[in-house]
A and B are shown apart, each in its own frame.
Chain A
């Protein structure tokens, strides 16, 4: 078992690879204040763990093949030093480091004073996002936009079962539990578009419950907030009629029209989002078509009814209407 050094090197190489290809949904990217702190801890834990593993492997190899040198290991002293003293010291240091990080995390709770509050409610299998601004509240879905460099407190709740809100690039996850409100503070360090995903198994298409978080510069964020708060801007689109006839408004809201359902995601600016179906599809007209026609196949068991009453022309105009809801 002379695996110690090779293993350690292997782990470090793999880790470096992992960090190198950190993608839009990776805890290795560390683009938030909290995630960067945790990433630092992660590297320390990986390195320390690899060292200890190497030590145990080395001692085992010595005990097995060490000739007479192994005699030094054969007493109860090894058990006391290696099994009690060593872990006690290492773990105590680690524990207080962990406490320090926890304390630092609590400090960012100051975000509660921020004028911007966001509630995210987990639903089977999408995210209702409500912005509480001094000028009133408005809903959007499956996507958050936050200002760079500002801690934003998210209030996390659930409408049905337990979900978990996780954007690894910015922060660790916190569960969304019906009957409770949990708080998570996000603070992005630089602009970017990052993916998140439900981390607590919530039945059915749990695998298809994703979302995007876009961190914007202060100015871009203010602009976006102003336009997102406003009503839909499509005017007299032919698809609006198909939308009405198909009864979409019973579940979906499009502000500025008579569609005001709250069962499904708000569609007021759905055309301007980064994804459709909670991170499932891109957001082009063709994707809207695909969703309307085949959503039970694309995301099995989702709670939207089949749209069997629509003919080809209806579907086409409906898709272009939705894509136009910028």
Chain B
């Protein structure tokens, strides 16, 4: 209706009295001791970002201790054992507790504002992820104070991390702690994917999505594919440590290189997982510096997608020195260089955008950090091309050259954009801007400090200094370089200290009187309050605030969509994934305790398992599940409120199921996560088969008869049929019956029977998981399917109870629908598993 006349009002103004007050009340942030119940993205996002920054400072302090130790040769300031813990915790904290959470926090904090959504679609899920991360991360970090920290380096290569060489619990802290934090990252990624695809404002079709939205979408997609590989790796290593299943130990047919493949299949994309969102932020800031649209917007989108794609073909460049065949070397060397092209596109696009400015240049603090990033990241990228050259890599690998390279890339590619972000987006959450003077001090100290610290390391590395050594003799010419590096490290620290002083002096949570101090063009600079924007704007360009200067006023007056709260609770508009056509109004949960307790108990369960206090761990695990069930009980509010008016003559339903529902999308993403995990398993199975085929030849003789896998397959198929029937047998709204619960329970039993039959038949045939890598892999297939079945059993029982409580019927059936989706996926995974486990040994033996 307003395509023809952009100034037409979508909602009539002036708005009725009390409407804003109602919004303020609905979206009010819990105060005081109730703060942990808060779920709104600005509160959670700030908490998330604050926690990540604290870990950045803590891990930075560890780095200072290490730099002090290395300042002079033959130093004994810290012991060898402490130093080995220091670099392990420094690397692990920076990668897992700072970098990934920080960019995910920026997604939680900035995305809904950029999309002018009231909140992310699953507020309690992100709150859960944040609390789980804070509790788990704090315990992991504190191990350094109790001499309990792992000593394996942040990539924890076995066999060194197997029980034989790393007895005690320290390595388990890494495995369980990190595995757990990865799960929290995946929860965040699901939230971000569904948020970007389904909660964009009306009219913001994908071609009008800000670059940061693209970056976060690709970031989350990469997490979905990459993180399961390392989750599988940590599962395998933990199982080998605890139960002796030989996945990595060569004595039992395992292979230490399997860990490296799985780890770097995650680890290299991880670098781009960190870099892409930061690059996305730069692509948002540069147009504002220039006050001109980004040059080559579409090329940048293609570059981001290409980076995500290429990054999965690079992992072997971390393994060039492991003696892999030269054909692989050639392939991965080429792929490693190809990834430089998308980075080049972005750098030149930023330069072109800066050149295209029409107004006077303002070198504000965010601009300085962006320019610093341009220099540092370019240098780091160039040394990256160097190490992609195999012969050079053989010299540089595992030396201080690599230490220098990775710090240039990560600090240039992520930390500098983050600091630019702090200064640039402060007005979104703080009533005062940060100081430009202190900001410039921070910048110059960090910029000069970084180059002083890391430039000499390139040379120290080529002069023969390996990484991860706690001291070095004075007979080698490394002392001067190290002293300079140490001075640089203290300069960086001084810069961070000035920033903290700036935060203390100027950062005040609250609404800014001047929401758009930089004259930026994107929606996050609209006037904001706890409910996000007063009304949700209709968007028709990439820079709506530049193209329609009156938009801020209109939105604040409530003249756009959803200026009120028609269902009386928290809600936002769900739009279609491509064209952003409004589809329905999602009712969202408000503050609550259950996600918080679920997070605390989940963290407690993992950490108690780490120190092998099994019974309390199980109790905490059960409590965590109970909390989750209580939490989701209230979420499915049903279609009671009926279609509501959101403005512009649009009446939208408040409840949908099937492919239109945001919950359905989350379930699909979760299935992709499970699928990635299983693909990593299939890769591991085939890898160990080629690495020790003897086990598979022997294994063929120990396979159960073909009837057994047929029986399991039949039971899985039966389960699918039962869940389909259960959906069909649901009562009309208001009705009730026991057919659906009965079918669901039978279905869950069929699934359980299928798994038990499969595992039992191998046990009967005499195969043991501890015998060989073959046996371990056979049982691992069972473990992976069994964990899905366990989840399905819990979900099915929950569905039965809800059905009997009258909360599931033909219309209101999201709970059953999501359970069924997982059943279909499990069926597919189990069939693939049966084919592999019962098929490959025949191939191997023939």
- Of A62, A72, A73, A81, most B-chain CB atoms within 10 Å: A73
On chain B, the residues within 8 Å of A79 by CB distance are 295-296, 299, 345, 348-349, 352
In the complex the two chains form, is A76's CB within 8 Å of B295's CB? yes
**Which residue from chain B places its CB closest to the CB of A77 in the assembled complex?**
B352
B-contact 0/1 string along A175-203, CB 8 Å cutoff: 10111101100000000000101111111
**Which residue from chain B places its CB closest to the CB of A168 in the assembled complex?**
B464
In the complex the two chains form, is B379's CB within 8 Å of A201's CB? no
On chain B, the residues within 8 Å of A24 by CB distance are 476
On chain A, the residues within 8 Å of B464 by CB distance are 23, 25-27, 168, 195, 197
A290 CB–B CB distance under 8 Å: no
The 8 Å CB contact of A91, one of B159, B385, B390, is B385
On chain B, the residues within 8 Å of A308 by CB distance are none
- B interface, CB within 8 angstroms of A: 79-81, 84, 151-153, 157, 159-160, 165-166, 250, 255-257, 295-296, 299, 303, 321-323, 326, 329-330, 333-334, 337-338, 340-341, 344-349, 351-356, 361, 371, 374-375, 378-379, 382-383, 385-386, 389-399, 455-456, 459, 462-464, 466-472, 476-477
In the complex the two chains form, is A174's CB within 8 Å of B323's CB? yes
The 8 Å CB contact of B361, one of A64, A81, A198, is A64
Q: How far apart are A176's CB and chain B's nearest CB, in angstroms? A: 9
On chain B, the residues within 8 Å of A15 by CB distance are 459
**Which residue from chain A places its CB closest to the CB of B383 in the assembled complex?**
A49
On chain B, the residues within 8 Å of A59 by CB distance are 348, 351
On chain B, the residues within 8 Å of A80 by CB distance are 296, 299
In the complex the two chains form, is B385's CB within 8 Å of A179's CB? no
The CA of A72 and the CA of B256, in the complex, are separated in Å by 54
Q: How far apart are B72's CB and chain A's nearest CB, in angstroms? A: 15
In the complex the two chains form, is A27's CB within 8 Å of B395's CB? yes
Q: A78-B295, A161-B159, A203-B160 are in contact. List 16 more A-B contacts (CB 8 A).
A: A14-B459, A18-B463, A25-B463, A27-B395, A34-B391, A45-B392, A52-B382, A82-B351, A98-B333, A172-B397, A173-B395, A174-B323, A179-B256, A180-B323, A199-B397, A204-B81
The 8 Å CB contact of B398, one of A53, A173, A183, is A173
- From A101-109, A229-237, A254-262, the one touching the partner chain is A101-109
On chain A, the residues within 8 Å of B333 by CB distance are 95, 98-99
In the complex the two chains form, is B352's CB within 8 Å of A63's CB? yes
B-contact 0/1 string along A33-74, CB 8 Å cutoff: 011011001100100010011001101101111100011111
The CA of A186 and the CA of B386, in the complex, are separated in Å by 23
A-B pairs with beta carbons under 8 Å apart, 19 shown: A3-B375, A18-B463, A23-B464, A26-B463, A27-B462, A38-B391, A79-B295, A82-B351, A83-B299, A83-B344, A87-B340, A98-B389, A168-B395, A173-B397, A173-B398, A179-B255, A182-B322, A182-B323, A204-B81
**Given A168-B464, A172-B393, A177-B257: A162 and B159 interface contact (C-beta under 8 Å):** yes
On chain A, the residues within 8 Å of B326 by CB distance are 102, 106
- Of B303, B322, B349, B389, most A-chain CB atoms within 10 Å: B389
The CA of A42 and the CA of B386, in the complex, are separated in Å by 8
On chain B, the residues within 8 Å of A203 by CB distance are 84, 151-152, 160, 165-166
The CA of A179 and the CA of B691, in the complex, are separated in Å by 10
**Given A59-B351, A173-B397, A207-B470: A300 and B79 interface contact (C-beta under 8 Å):** yes
On chain B, the residues within 8 Å of A3 by CB distance are 375
- A interface, CB within 8 angstroms of B: 1, 3, 14-15, 17-18, 21-28, 34-35, 37-38, 41-42, 45, 49, 52-53, 56-57, 59-60, 62-66, 70-76, 78-84, 86-88, 91, 94-95, 98-99, 101-102, 105-106, 124, 156, 160-162, 164, 166, 168, 171-175, 177-180, 182-183, 195, 197-207, 300-301
In the complex the two chains form, is B157's CB within 8 Å of A73's CB? no
Q: How far apart are B366's CB and chain A's nearest CB, in angstroms? A: 14
In the complex the two chains form, is B391's CB within 8 Å of A102's CB? yes
**Which residue from chain A places its CB closest to the CB of B295 in the assembled complex?**
A76
In the complex the two chains form, is A201's CB within 8 Å of B468's CB? yes
On chain A, the residues within 8 Å of B330 by CB distance are 99, 102
On chain A, the residues within 8 Å of B334 by CB distance are 95
- Of A25, A28, A66, A86, most B-chain CB atoms within 10 Å: A25
**Which residue from chain A places its CB closest to the CB of B299 in the assembled complex?**
A79
**Which residue from chain B places its CB closest to the CB of A66 in the assembled complex?**
B355
The CA of A229 and the CA of B383, in the complex, are separated in Å by 45
**Which residue from chain A places its CB closest to the CB of B393 in the assembled complex?**
A172
**Which residue from chain A places its CB closest to the CB of B372 in the assembled complex?**
A1
The CA of A90 and the CA of B371, in the complex, are separated in Å by 24
In the complex the two chains form, is A88's CB within 8 Å of B361's CB? no
In the complex the two chains form, is A76's CB within 8 Å of B299's CB? yes
The 7 closest A-B CB pairs, nearest first, are A172-B394, A179-B250, A25-B464, A74-B356, A182-B323, A207-B469, A83-B345
**Which residue from chain A places its CB closest to the CB of B361 in the assembled complex?**
A64
- Of B250, B340, B352, most A-chain CB atoms within 10 Å: B352
In the complex the two chains form, is A173's CB within 8 Å of B321's CB? yes
Q: How far apart are A62's CB and chain B's nearest CB, in angstroms? A: 7
On chain B, the residues within 8 Å of A66 by CB distance are 355
The CA of A11 and the CA of B771, in the complex, are separated in Å by 56
The 8 Å CB contact of A62, one of B80, B329, B355, is B355
**Which residue from chain A places its CB closest to the CB of B462 in the assembled complex?**
A27
On chain A, the residues within 8 Å of B80 by CB distance are 204-205, 207, 300-301
On chain A, the residues within 8 Å of B340 by CB distance are 87, 91
**Which residue from chain A places its CB closest to the CB of B349 in the assembled complex?**
A79
Q: How far apart are A115's CB and chain B's nearest CB, in angstroms? A: 24
**Given A91-B338, A175-B321: A75 and B256 interface contact (C-beta under 8 Å):** no
On chain B, the residues within 8 Å of A65 by CB distance are 361
**Given A27-B464, A64-B354, A205-B80: A183 and B391 interface contact (C-beta under 8 Å):** no
- Of A60, A72, A83, A94, most B-chain CB atoms within 10 Å: A83
In the complex the two chains form, is B347's CB within 8 Å of A74's CB? no
The 8 Å CB contact of A94, one of B257, B337, B351, B361, is B337
